[in-house]
């Protein structure tokens, strides 16, 4: 079974430029997450989708970040314009909550490493 | 109150030794405590997890010890191997599967051959 797929793996841009990240979750996983992982830190949730609905976007900086999950499968995360402080690894994860509250294991993709110059 | 504090930041252990990583939390609403393993260039992967109704969970060489009254939990890696060298994150979330997972800051573990 294929895991969570993300692209690109690496992206280098200059500040004020736009950038977009793409995620394809594990087939059948209705819940999709975007995390940001700063160097030497644990992942921090940016947004969570249940199918195509964003159910928790409280940590998403909405002035420059946007996300969408059309048709409840693939998702894109966009930053416009990028700032120096946005340099981080952006992780996508997916889960299948049908296993109940005790499961809901999140499966992470390899991430996109963003460098803003 | 949402934080999960993790220590040490880095750890070097000889092959065959025991690696111990500690975490503490404040929010008593947390009800699920997973540990994740992350290799360079990869996303975190679930290693082992525990609910607060038990004090210990063992899976192979990996053991979680949980102290509910102290609000602390730890990961023990027995017979540590060079392949265990990775960054380990403790985490916590509430009972609902929809609860947000709060990650610790990570421990970079190096196993010396």
Per-residue pLDDT of chain B (113 residues; tens, 9 = 90+): 679 999 999 999 999 999 999 999 999 889 999 999 999 999 999 999 999 999 999 999 999 999 999 999 999 999 999 999 999 999 999 877 667 899 999 999 999 99
Report the pLDDT averaged over residues A72-99: 92
Nearest CB neighbour to B97, from listed A55, A104, A109: A104
Question: Among residues of chain A, what percentage have pLDDT more than 70?
Answer: 92
Mutate to test the interface with B, among A42, A90, A105, A112 (most CBs of B within 10 A): A42
Report the pLDDT averaged over residues A79-91: 97
Sign of dihedral through CA atoms B76, B82, B84, B87?
positive
Residue B99: per-residue pLDDT: 78
Contact A97 B98 (CB under 8 A): yes
Sign of dihedral through CA atoms B26, B71, B97, A79?
positive
Report the pLDDT averaged over residues A77-100: 90
Dist CA A101 CA A37 (whole Å): 25
Contact A42 B104 (CB under 8 A): yes
pLDDT one-digit tens code per residue, A44-59: 999 999 999 999 998 9
Give the max Cα distance, chain B.
Answer: 42
Nearest CB neighbour to B45, from listed A95, A108, A111: A108
């Amino acid at each position: 079974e294929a895991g969570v797929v993300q692209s690109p793996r690496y992206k280098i841009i200059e500040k004020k430029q736009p950038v977009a990240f793409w995620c394809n979750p594990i087939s059948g996983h209705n819940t999709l997450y975007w995390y940001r992982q700063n160097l030497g830190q644990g992942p921090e949730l940016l947004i969570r989708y249940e199918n195509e609905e964003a159910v928790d976007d409280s940590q998403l900086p909405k002035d420059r970040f946007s996300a969408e999950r059309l048709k409840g499968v693939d998702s894109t995360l966009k930053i416009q314009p990028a700032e120096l402080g946005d340099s981080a690894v952006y992780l996508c994860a997916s889960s299948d909550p049908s296993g109940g509250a005790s499961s809901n294991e999140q499966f992470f993709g390899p991430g996109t490493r963003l460098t803003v110059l | 109150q949402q934080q999960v504090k993790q220590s040490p930041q880095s750890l070097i252990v000889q092959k065959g030794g025991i690696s111990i990583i500690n975490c503490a939390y404040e929010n008593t609403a947390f009800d699920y405590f997973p540990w994740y393993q992350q290799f360079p260039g990869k996303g975190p992967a679930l290693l082992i997890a525990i609910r607060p109704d038990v004090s210990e969970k063992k899976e192979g060489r990996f053991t979680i010890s949980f102290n509910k009254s102290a609000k602390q939990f730890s990961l023990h890696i027995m017979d540590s191997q060079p392949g265990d060298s990775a960054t380990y994150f403790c985490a916590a979330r509430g009972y609902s599967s929809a609860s947000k997972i709060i990650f610790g800051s990570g421990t970079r573990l190096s196993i010396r051959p």
